Structure 1
Amino acid sequence: MSDDLVLAIDQGTSSTKCLLVDPAGGVVRTGSAPVPIRYPRPGWVEQDAGEILGSVLTAAASCLDGVAPGRVVAVGLSTQRESAVVWDRTTGQPAGPVLGWQDQRAQPICDALREKGQASRVREISGLPLDPMFSAAKLRWLLDETPDAAVGTIDSWLVYALTGSHRIEAGNASRTQLLDVRAGAWSPELLDLFGIPSAALPTVTPSAGELGRIGAHGGVLAGLPITAVLGDSHAALYAHGERAAHGVKVTYGTGSSVMRLGEPSNDAVCMTVAWNDELAAEGNIRSSGSTVAWLADLLDRSPEQIGAMAAGAASEGVHLVPGFGGLAAPWWDDTAVGLISGLTLGTKPAQLARAAVESIAHQVADVVDAMGPAEALLADGGASGNDVLMQIQADLTGRPVLRARTANLSALGAAFLAGGFTPSISYDEFRPQPGDAAAQRSAWRAAVARARTPHLGS
């Protein structure tokens, strides 16, 4: 029916956004709620599962306020990935902190497996490098603290809390490092390596279908069916529609996800499940938007001010390598450190601002280079609204950047899949301009090499 609407819930790292979407892809109403993040120790990143659920209910209530009952026919869910959740099997209440995707406390678990020579086997089965960013080691850490609990990722926690079903969507499951990515099922060998009992894990389900009906405790959502669940990066790729078959999707957020359909050609990037049984190659960048936020805090400016400073300056040989917790794709080097190089007595905050913005584009270019040929970059996410960044990205990669004119592509992708709508997105195009991209890329790679060998100095 033309009057039918789908509610998309996009549960992200710092907030939950809700969009009410019609069959043409139009956004009828929106709602949002913040989600606190805590950093109790260096390398520890925590959230609260109850607060995350509360943000979903608050954002949904705001979005649906005044909407006639019966107009909303389905819910689509897009979530942050790799974050690990633990809850009590009996009460259903959170039994520990949510370990965020950036959390590094499980590094010793990964190190122990690497010392036993298991890194290649983990990669072979899961499609992912042995790294604490993924959920498996974090889930082991939580179970060490709370034995006999139920565990899952953000999508499985929300589906459980709203419907009572302990399920996990295939794409999110592929980010746990416990899934046999080609078989689409939990790997007994990986469960044994990480010490995860199968009884603690949710059941792997497809990305679309009857995934549960929300109970009375769901407030304004009560009675609605969840018909699609996707990881946020996967949902954004889905929203790009037919263009996704020929381009590389780049989501510019706190970190960045660079993803394309099809299996990867090398180990510089990961193999993951895009949705259902569709495989994709992905490179993850730990710090992109968070780099600008860090510099803004350091300089007592806003991220918007950092962007404005960058637009009017040149980096003048300054490079900022944001190895705050090591470097992810394509390096996968957890020993890398954060580094600023090329400083002179003439360096000003504007040069640092420009270097911070350029670091985002350089890291994306590193992953795109590792992925191989691509017709264009399909850009979305908050930082993609920065015209300067988009032009730098086109220049460094030598490829056109097509920026989605519609915001919130993760939410829209979940809505399109949940409602069976055909994605239709329009774009702004940034074409590569002549310049010294080769020299800039060479200087960046030299800075990365220094960050990866900090004992050599700068």
Structure 2
Amino acid sequence: MRDELLLGIDLGTSSIKANAIDRHGRSIGIGVAPTPFAAGAHGVEMSTEALFLAIRSAIADLGVLASRIVAVGVASMGETGTIIRADGPTNLPLVAWHDERGTEIVDELVQTFGAEEIRRRTGRQARSVTSIAKLGWLLRNGYESGGTWTGVAGLTVWRFTGVLAQEQSLAATSGAFNPVTAEYDREILASLGLDSLVWAPARVAGTNLGRVSPEGARWSGLRAGIPVTIAGHDHPVGVIGAGGDRTEVIDSMGTGEPLVVSWDASSPTKRDHPSWPDQLGDLTITAWPGTARHMLLWETLRPGLALRNLQRALRVDRDDIEFSAIRVDAQPLDLPSLVAMQDGDIPAAVLALPAEEAWASTLEGYAAASADAEIRLRAISDVAGQTLLIGGGLRSRRWVEAKLRRAEHPVAMAEEREAVSRGAALLAGVAGGWWAPEEYPPADTIPLSGAESFVEGIGGRA
């Protein structure tokens, strides 16, 4: 029916968004609530009850639009999750993915298997942000065990439907999942004493996992009987929502700046290329939502963190320094300097520069680093199309112009700013039978042939 809408829920680190879209893929209304993470005695976490209240608040913020929802898709941050039993979630806190707990768990894994073997088994580096690092810490510190583990998106689907499930790109953030075989690694789990847990089955995004139960309807305010799916991890889902496709390199400019390409796991010769994976550093394999294909994500860059740290060190206003740096000629900072800045260590040579030059040099450095990584990503994939820029970093004219000067392929800019929640809604449309995967309503993009077209595209904003 013409009045029916799809709901995409984005469980983000800072906020929860409930985006209602129509059959043309257009957002009709967005409800927002803060994500209830808070610093506690052991670190940053939230309770399941607080999460449920926040989700309910975001849906309620839609007002009467909630009555028109006919399918739901849930995307979320990775890693964070809990254990669910027959009587409901346990008392495990939902530990933030960026919380420092679990470092010793990772050290044990590396000692047992070796860093390269873990990368081979899981498609990613061993890191403390993984679910098994957080879960291992919790169980060793007196929290309950026994039951089924799933992430916060799976927890939300359980609250809607009573069904226990997980999705492949989110399962990949656990640290014990092989994204190519789509199976959990029992040896890694056993080494940490986590193999006695049930791990919710990882399904393809867009799968109809269940329907809103009468209890789920009373809680959420949505109608009972509508299908619910897990859309996936926020980075891959944001690619879908912004209109990215398998022919493009997608550059997600934000706090983190993952570069994304489609990857065919059946082409093993690509693994023999010199860029795989040592010369690319934080290279991650995950699922392309709704399909049997995979994504490669290069995740070394955290420009939002570096710029935030630099802004504090320079004691400048963000808008003012962005404007001042527009016409400044600057040499790019090297990658080691950028990584140090991400960790809060601003090199003395950077602080010695005039503020606008330090800012411009940082943006030039990130543009150079991503351009180099894009060349390598294209070499190990079959991607030959344009580069699509997405994310909040598009507000920085100076940054985008630095990218355009280095571009070796056509560049376009995505207009969608709520890409994750829109992508979740599009995958809800798959679960609801509105369209097949990758046959979504298009998202608007603007070709960028040079600095002039960029200025026109954003209306001359600095």
TM-score range, shorter chain: 0.7 to 0.9
Matches within 5 A, 1:24-63: 24-38=24-38, 45-63=44-62
Partner in structure 2 of residue 430 of structure 1: 448
Partner in structure 1 of residue 287 of structure 2: 273
Task: Name which of 230, 233, 236 aligns with 1:234.
Answer: 236
Report if aligned partners of 2:29, 2:65 keep a CA contact under 8 Å in 1: no
Matched, 1:119 2:121: no
Matches within 5 A, 1:36-115: 36-38=36-38, 45-63=44-62, 65-67=63-65, 69=67, 71-82=68-79, 84-87=80-83, 89=85, 92-93=88-89, 95-115=91-111
Query: 2: distance between equivalents of 1:286 and 1:50?
Result: 34
Residue aligned with 1:81, SS: coil
Shift in alpha-carbon separation, 1:49–1:129, aligned structure 2, 3 A? same
Query: 2: distance between equivalents of 1:40 and 1:363?
Result: 36
CA shift digits 1:381-412 (9 cap, x unpaired): 22223232222123234333311112212222
Q: CA deviation at 1:249?
A: 1.3
Partner in structure 2 of residue 447 of structure 1: none
Residue aligned with 2:260, SS: strand
Residue aligned with 1:175, SS: helix
Report if aligned partners of 1:256, 1:286 keep a CA contact under 8 Å in 2: yes
Task: Name which of 277, 282, 291 aligns with 2:306.
Answer: 291
Query: 1: distance between equivalents of 2:19 and 2:117?
Result: 41
Report if aligned partners of 1:152, 1:202 keep a CA contact under 8 Å in 2: yes
Residue 390 of structure 1 aligns with an amino acid whose one-letter code is V
Stretches of structure 1 lacking an aligned partner (at least 5 in a row): 327-336, 434-458
| Equivalent pairs, count | 417
Shift in alpha-carbon separation, 1:91–1:200, aligned structure 2, 3 A? same
Matched, 1:216 2:223: no
Shift in alpha-carbon separation, 1:91–1:389, aligned structure 2, 3 A? farther
Tell me whether 401-410 or 185-194 shows the greater mean CA deviation: 185-194
Shift in alpha-carbon separation, 1:197–1:403, aligned structure 2, 3 A? same
Q: CA deviation at 1:19?
A: 1.4
Query: 2: distance between equivalents of 1:286 and 1:91?
Result: 42
Query: 1: distance between equivalents of 2:187 and 2:284?
Result: 19
Task: Name which of 323, 338, 346 aligns with 1:308.
Answer: 323
Query: 2: distance between equivalents of 1:429 and 1:356?
Result: 25
Partner in structure 2 of residue 408 of structure 1: 418
Matches within 5 A, 1:165-244: 165-214=163-212, 215-223=216-224, 224-241=226-243, 244=245
Query: 2: distance between equivalents of 1:17 and 1:236?
Result: 13
CA shift digits 1:416-452 (9 cap, x unpaired): 222144230222233468xxxxxxxxxxxxxxxxxxx
Partner in structure 1 of residue 349 of structure 2: 342
Q: CA deviation at 1:37?
A: 4.5
Query: 2: distance between equivalents of 1:423 and 1:132?
Result: 38
Task: Name which of 138, 145, 148 aligns with 2:145.
Answer: 148
Partner in structure 2 of residue 245 of structure 1: 246
Report if aligned partners of 1:250, 1:380 keep a CA contact under 8 Å in 2: yes
Query: 2: distance between equivalents of 1:283 and 1:85?
Result: 24
Q: State the TM-score, normalized to the length of structure 1.
A: 0.80
Residue 217 of structure 2 aligns with an amino acid whose one-letter code is A
1 or 2 for the larger relative contact order (CA 8 Å, sep ≥6)? 2
Residue 128 of structure 1 aligns with an amino acid whose one-letter code is R
Residue 274 of structure 1 aligns with an amino acid whose one-letter code is W
Residue aligned with 2:443, SS: coil
Q: CA deviation at 1:235?
A: 1.3
CA shift digits 1:140-184 (9 cap, x unpaired): 222223141553322122222333222111121122221122221
Residue 131 of structure 1 aligns with an amino acid whose one-letter code is R
CA shift digits 1:34-88 (9 cap, x unpaired): 225446699x65455443333222111112x12373x221112121123x22356
Q: CA deviation at 1:300?
A: 5.0
Residue 272 of structure 1 aligns with an amino acid whose one-letter code is T
Report if aligned partners of 2:341, 2:347 keep a CA contact under 8 Å in 1: no
Query: 1: distance between equivalents of 2:84 and 2:293?
Result: 33
Matched, 1:372 2:374: no
Tell me whether 33-42 or 254-263 shows the greater mean CA deviation: 33-42
Stretches of structure 2 lacking an aligned partner (at least 5 in a row): 265-269, 452-462
Report if aligned partners of 2:81, 2:94 keep a CA contact under 8 Å in 1: yes
Residue 447 of structure 2 aligns with an amino acid whose one-letter code is E
Residue 169 of structure 2 aligns with an amino acid whose one-letter code is G
Partner in structure 1 of residue 132 of structure 2: 136
Query: 2: distance between equivalents of 1:300 and 1:221?
Result: 47
Q: CA deviation at 1:202?
A: 1.8
Tell me whether 163-172 or 191-200 shows the greater mean CA deviation: 191-200
Report if aligned partners of 2:306, 2:338 keep a CA contact under 8 Å in 1: no
Shift in alpha-carbon separation, 1:317–1:85, aligned structure 2, 3 A? closer
Report if aligned partners of 1:323, 1:338 keep a CA contact under 8 Å in 2: yes
